Amino acid sequence: MSLDTIIEIKSANIFQNENLVLSGVNLAVDKGEFIYLIGKVGSGKSSLVKTINAELPLKEGTGVVAGFDLVKIKRKQIPLLRRKMGIVFQDFQLLSDRSVYDNLLFVLKATGWKNKAEIKQRISDVLEKVGLQYKDYKLPHQLSGGEQQRVVIARALLNNPEIILADEPTGNLDPETSDDIMKLLVEISKSGRAVIMATHNYGLLKKFPARTIKCEKGQLCESVAAAEIDFESLME
Ligand X SMILES: Nc1ncnc2c1ncn2[C@@H]1O[C@H](COP(=O)(O)OP(=O)(O)OP(=O)(O)O)[C@@H](O)[C@H]1O
Q: Which residues bind ligand X (CB under 6 A)?
A: 16-17, 19, 21, 39, 41-47, 215
CA-wise closest residue to 57 among 39, 38, 75:
75
**Do 213 and 39 touch, CB atoms closer than 8 A?**
no
In eight-state DSSP terms, residue 17 is T
- Report the distance separating Cα 117 and Cα 149, nearest Å: 26
**Sheet bearing 19-30, strands edge to edge:** 19-30, 5-16, 60-65, 68-69
Least distance to ligand X, CB of residue 29, Å:
18
Q: Which is nearer to ligand X, 39 or 63 (CB)?
A: 39
Least distance to ligand X, CB of residue 65, Å:
17
DSSP 119-177: HHHHHHHHHHHTT-TT-TT--GGGS-HHHHHHHHHHHHHTT--SEEEEESTTTTS-HHH
Q: Which is nearer to ligand X, 41 or 110 (CB)?
A: 41
Q: Which is nearer to ligand X, 20 or 80 (CB)?
A: 20
Q: Which is nearer to ligand X, 46 or 189 (CB)?
A: 46
Q: How many CB atoms lie within 10 A of CB 87?
A: 18
User: What residues are paired with 221 via a beta bridge?
Assistant: 214
Q: Which is nearer to ligand X, 61 or 140 (CB)?
A: 61
Least distance to ligand X, CB of residue 167, Å:
7
Least distance to ligand X, CB of residue 177, Å:
21
Least distance to ligand X, CB of residue 93, Å:
16
